[in-house]
A and B are shown apart, each in its own frame.
Chain A
Amino acid sequence: MRKTYLGEFEEVILLLVAILDGDAYGVTVSQELEQQTGRQVTFGAVHNTLIRLEEKGFVHSQLGGATAERGGRRKRLFTLTPAGSRALQNIWELRQQLWQLVPPHAIKPAGI
């Protein structure tokens, strides 16, 4: 059992941090979320989730370099911690196991 609960939205954001691989910060995570899932959420939701994930120890953050397009402000870059990647793996394995147990007729492909 996982010790720290991970919500669905948290899981998605954590995955996005993993996908972005070192280039994850507020902007990229928001854009990636929109492009990959089509979900439009407020920036506050992304911001708060990143902070919460860090409190839970799944990501680690660091202030990165400033760029001109941000008016000289630094950005906070997020990377996965070992605990974070373990959590993602656990979830994936658990889903795999559960999929195996589903009888074939139980889930009918839609529209067929």
Chain B
Amino acid sequence: MMYSNKPTPQPPRWVIRLLQRLHPTETLEEVAGDLAELYVYWYQQAGKRQADWRYVLAVFSVLPPFVRRRQLKQEHASNSFIPFTMLTHYFTIAYRHLLRNKATSFLHIAGLSSGMAVAMLIGLWVWNELSFNKHHQNYDRIVQLWQFVAFDAEKSSYNSLPIPLAEELRNNYPDFKLVSVATFNRESILAHGQKQFTKTGMYVEPAFVPIMSVKLLAGAANGLNDVRSIMLSQSLAQTFFGSENPINKVIKIDNKQTLKVTGVYEDFPGNSSFREVLFLAPWQWFVATNSYARNAQKEWDENSFQIFAQLTEQANVEKVSAKIKDIRMKLDNPPPYKPEFFLHPMSKWHLYADFQNGVNTGGLIYFVWLFGIVGVFVLLLACINFMNLSTARSEKRAKEVGIRKAIGSVRRQLIFQFLSESLLTVAISYSISILVVLVALPFFNEVANTNIRILWSNPVFWLSSLVFCLLTGFIAGSYPALYLSSFQPVKVLKGALKVDQSVVAPRKMLVVFQFTVSITLVIGIITVFRQIDYAKDRPTGYSRNGLIEVRINSPELNRQFASIKNDLFQSRAVVAFSESTGSVTDDYGGVTNVDWPGKSPESHPLLMANRITHDYGKTIGWQLMAGRDFSEDFASDSSAIILNESALQLMALKNPIGETIYWNNKKYRIIGIIRDMIKNNPFEPVSPSFFVIDYESANVMNIKLAPQMGTREALRRVEEVYKKYNPAVPFEYKFVNEEYAKKFSHEERIGKLTTFFAILAIFISCLGLFGLASFLAEQRTKEIGIRKILGAPVFHIWRLLSKDFVFLVLIAFFLATPIAYYFLHKWLQNYEYRTQLPWWVFAAVGSGALIITLLTISYQAIKAALANPIKSLRSE
């Protein structure tokens, strides 16, 4: 080629750069050369435009994915993508690596196994909740009847219904294949010989058995057709009869009469709405022995029973609901509360059980989602930690990678090696997490009020475990595998590896993420418990100390009120005694037919009716605001009435004492006003209530134990009296204090579960922080050494290492605050009676997080600051 002064033509620079950037390195030189030569050739032949065009085309034809790669010649290149022969080798190396770095391995395994345990627990719980009731054969076609009822403006929903509705559905609506009336769960005393237990069961029509596909183990499915029969669950049959055949044996019920066992059914499983139903007795028997049920048979306004049904295959829940909606309003005398009937399908019984103002607003499903998300987050935190710790140690392993590559490992093999390390760690963590779950399950079941077991025999469990492990292994291992294997051997072995900001930045983001989750959870816990405390501190309006209630199971007890009272006082174990319809902790029943002076005729508000005996106020210690208590000195008190504050407010009476009120066409004179007593939900306003004297319909004895006598002794003496009048019935009592505490169980359950998750989230976050701090300290050993030699005090070095993290935690705090505020504010809206979200809770959690962060980091920082600089600087 002749030397010429003319500059050699050049193709566009960007195309050249494209070629250099994207063409495989192994053939870059020769191809770039060839193309440069061809460009000159094209330029001379057809000019610049053509040459440029052909050059661009040629470059694109040698870029991926079009280009064919020249294989490097390898001595032992393997053909399969997964080098199976190397797998055992990888795992051996991974195993040795775990043993060699015990501290790191411990951090890895502790973090991962706690994360996996939480995820597994939540997974089991979610599975349990989602599979609720699914075992019923006709799951899709089983419905329960509900009604919307309008009291004044507000619509309420009830699953208690009038009996005639069942007959109506059976006769006039062909969409219903089977209909069964049932009582709510009832406690009854069952006895066989000497064995006597109080057990929960239901009284149902025979159709209940096929509707719920009750699995019979012995006896006949139509056993309930006989009025004097009873069906027992397998477990109850076992307690009574052991290995004997229970069929045709007799059971005495409520000390009245005997029923013949005609069937034994498999216990309803733990995730069934009927899990507490241990016996099924015939509805006919219930009607025969309960006068109020007999009276309710034809009574459309007695809403006290459940109705279950199975629809035909063609029926559609919404359409059938629309058809039956107005049944009651078309009949004679439609009631003022305008009931609208509707169907609640079985698939919604458990997860969508809340109704607000006539609309289904979800329910438990909200928590299924919430905890599901928390579970995913906790697992994610654990994975992130694993990534963080692995990459943080990259400098140490960089040399190993360099040497491996220099010897001839290709990147693919390194990726497999790192993945096998993470998979091995995950496998170990998984076994530990199973142990953790086994230990934690009883506790978890108690807190969550469930009966979850590990599904050992379920292939789905093992399959999902496997997928779960592989996924965790790959997620946790992906970043280190891809990052570490990308090192250039030459650079690494020269020692030129610089971990720059671009690598540390994502790690810092992950720390921020972890702390955001932890801080949010902690603010959540504090708010949940504050809400519980707030409601607990609310004055109940009566005194619960030493107050017990005993259910009256036989009518004899009512008739002997005076002598029982006398005997109780004789025993000196009791300071006050009275009876009432319903427990002091609950509203027993509401009425709408109350009239008072100045009431508007259109209004039909619901008032709670309480029937009590004299001394009730003294027994429970209610607080009179005005007027007087019932007294035996006034014979006229049989038509006296006492109102609570809310009722007074509702009626808006100026001078209430002495005013006349009408109820059930009877006149009552107001003699007193008491302070509101919390009888229903402590988070809701107290219902307007009134109290009247009634010795006939009492079903609860209220007993105030003598405070100076020991509780045990007092109870023994009360039992003695009870047994004297009712020898056949076991003495069972409830402390009102405990009953009241149960009202908070739902909130406390949420609180405990959140605490459980938050502690783990904090633990996992701190592990991550610890790992990152150790990495940064290691990174800066030389800098710290030099600073020390130049005279920096330990405090300065500590501050140097800590300030980055303080900044990260502050960012996390500012992210977490609005998130926590948003969700908690929304949660609190569910309660009428709710606590506030004060700023200091956020501040306290923020400073708490900061302190924990500093404590975690300080260990590493002080260790680095105290280290002998000679050691770190000797190698320079």
A complexed with B: yes
Which A residues fall within an 8 A CB radius of B?
Answer: 25-27, 30-31, 42-45, 47-48, 51-52, 54-55, 63, 66-71, 73-76
Contact of A43 among B1, B27, B34 (CB under 8 A): B34
Residues in chain B near residue A70, CB distance under 8 A: 33-34, 36-37
Residues in chain A near residue B70, CB distance under 8 A: 51, 54
The answer to whether A55 touches B30, judged by C-beta atoms less than 8 angstroms apart, is no
The answer to whether B37 touches A69, judged by C-beta atoms less than 8 angstroms apart, is yes
A45, A47, A55, A63: most-surrounded residue (chain B CB, <10 A): A47
Residues in chain A near residue B38, CB distance under 8 A: 26-27, 30-31, 43
Contact of B33 among A31, A44, A71 (CB under 8 A): A71
- The answer to whether B464 has its CB under 8 Å from any CB of chain A is no
The answer to whether A69 touches B36, judged by C-beta atoms less than 8 angstroms apart, is yes
Q: Which 4 A-B pairs have the closest CB atoms?
A: A44-B61, A73-B33, A26-B34, A42-B61
Given contacts A30-B34, A69-B40, A74-B29, 19 further A-B pairs with CB under 8 A are: A26-B30, A26-B31, A27-B34, A42-B57, A42-B61, A43-B35, A43-B58, A43-B62, A47-B34, A47-B61, A47-B67, A48-B66, A52-B68, A54-B70, A55-B71, A63-B30, A70-B33, A71-B33, A75-B34
The answer to whether B37 touches A27, judged by C-beta atoms less than 8 angstroms apart, is yes
Known pairs A30-B38, A47-B68; A74 contacts B58 (CB<8 A) = no
The answer to whether B68 touches A51, judged by C-beta atoms less than 8 angstroms apart, is yes
Could you tell me the dominant secondary structure of chain A's interface residues?
A: helix
- The answer to whether B212 has its CB under 8 Å from any CB of chain A is no
* Minimum C-beta distance from B612 to chain A (A): 97
Contact of B30 among A31, A48, A54, A75 (CB under 8 A): A75
- Complex CA distance for A30 and B70, rounded to whole angstroms: 19
Question: Can you list, as one digit per residue, whether each of B787-829 has a CB less than 8 Å from chain A (1) or not (0)?
Answer: 0000000000000000000000000000000000000000000
Residues in chain B near residue A25, CB distance under 8 A: 30, 34
The answer to whether A44 touches B67, judged by C-beta atoms less than 8 angstroms apart, is yes
* Minimum C-beta distance from B375 to chain A (A): 50
Which B residues fall within an 8 A CB radius of A?
Answer: 1, 8, 27, 29-38, 40-41, 57-58, 60-62, 66-71
Nearest B residue to A68 via CB reads B1
- Complex CA distance for A47 and B33, rounded to whole angstroms: 12
- Complex CA distance for A23 and B630, rounded to whole angstroms: 123
The answer to whether A31 touches B41, judged by C-beta atoms less than 8 angstroms apart, is yes
* Minimum C-beta distance from A30 to chain B (A): 6
Residues in chain A near residue B32, CB distance under 8 A: 71, 73
- Complex CA distance for A91 and B687, rounded to whole angstroms: 102
The answer to whether B33 touches A48, judged by C-beta atoms less than 8 angstroms apart, is no
- Complex CA distance for A71 and B41, rounded to whole angstroms: 14
The answer to whether B1 touches A74, judged by C-beta atoms less than 8 angstroms apart, is no
Nearest A residue to B28 via CB reads A73
* Minimum C-beta distance from B74 to chain A (A): 14
* Minimum C-beta distance from B4 to chain A (A): 11
* Minimum C-beta distance from A84 to chain B (A): 18
The answer to whether A75 touches B66, judged by C-beta atoms less than 8 angstroms apart, is no
Residues in chain B near residue A74, CB distance under 8 A: 29-30, 33
Residues in chain B near residue A75, CB distance under 8 A: 30, 33-34
Q: List 25 A-B contacts (CB under 8 A).
A: A25-B30, A26-B34, A26-B38, A27-B34, A27-B37, A30-B34, A42-B57, A42-B58, A42-B60, A43-B31, A43-B61, A44-B61, A45-B61, A47-B61, A47-B62, A48-B67, A51-B27, A52-B68, A55-B71, A67-B1, A69-B1, A69-B40, A70-B37, A73-B29, A74-B30
* Minimum C-beta distance from B64 to chain A (A): 11
Residues in chain B near residue A73, CB distance under 8 A: 29-30, 32-33, 36
- Complex CA distance for A70 and B57, rounded to whole angstroms: 19
- Complex CA distance for A44 and B64, rounded to whole angstroms: 10
- Complex CA distance for A50 and B482, rounded to whole angstroms: 32
Contact of B62 among A44, A55, A63 (CB under 8 A): A44
* Minimum C-beta distance from B57 to chain A (A): 6
A42, A44, A52, A68: most-surrounded residue (chain B CB, <10 A): A44
